[in-house]
Amino acid sequence: MQVKTITVNKTAKNNDGIKIDVVVPQADTEVELLSYLLAGFIRDAHGAGRFKVDLPDQYQVTYQAEGSFLVTTESGVTTTKGSSPFYSPPKPVAVVAIQRFGKRFDLAYAAINQDAFKAQKEPAAENKDAAKAAKSAKK
């Protein structure tokens, strides 16, 4: 394993972003071991209130790149009750990384909210309808 410095949260106001040190596995065995250990650590952290992401009952942790792991639902497991009994593909829940602070390590994470993406698309359609209604009212 290796520790690399990556940059996150680059914005127009903050061109440099935030630099963090993360653990990057170098071999397949390390990837599998860290994925296995992270799954249990995330479950414990969630139970203790230190992982503030809604987790499904069953999830998996897979390695992506540059020290980031993806938490997804298990294949075929639905995230909501009363949903379709048919197969559902894995859905992303969060991105996690093992962050290093000197000799200490902690979990860096960000939730992936699929509902937020849907909510962003819906108001745009409503705004178009509101704009049309406003134009009609002015005539």
pLDDT one digit per residue (tens) for the chain, 139 residues: 898 888 877 888 888 888 888 999 999 999 999 999 999 999 999 999 998 888 888 899 999 988 899 999 887 655 555 666 667 778 889 999 999 988 899 898 988 875 644 444 454 555 555 555 555 555 5
Residue 119 lies in a domain: no
Residue 56 lies in a domain: yes
**Residue linked to tokens 């902690």:** 106
Residue 120 lies in a domain: no
Rounded to whole angstroms, the Cα distance separating 59 from 30 reads 20
Structure tokens of 104?
């200490």
Residue 118 lies in a domain: no
Residue 134 lies in a domain: no
Q: Give the count of alpha carbons within 13 A of 65, CB side only.
A: 0
Q: What is the pTM of this model?
A: 0.68
Total domain count, the chain: 1
Q: Look up residue 31 and give its DSSP letter.
A: H
What pairs with residue 70 in β-bridges?
A: 62, 95
Residue 49 lies in a domain: yes
Residue 123 lies in a domain: no
Rounded to whole angstroms, the Cα distance separating 93 from 112 reads 5
Residue 133 lies in a domain: no
Residue span of the structural domain in which 104 resides: 2-113
Residue pair 51/45 in contact by the 8 Å Cβ criterion: yes
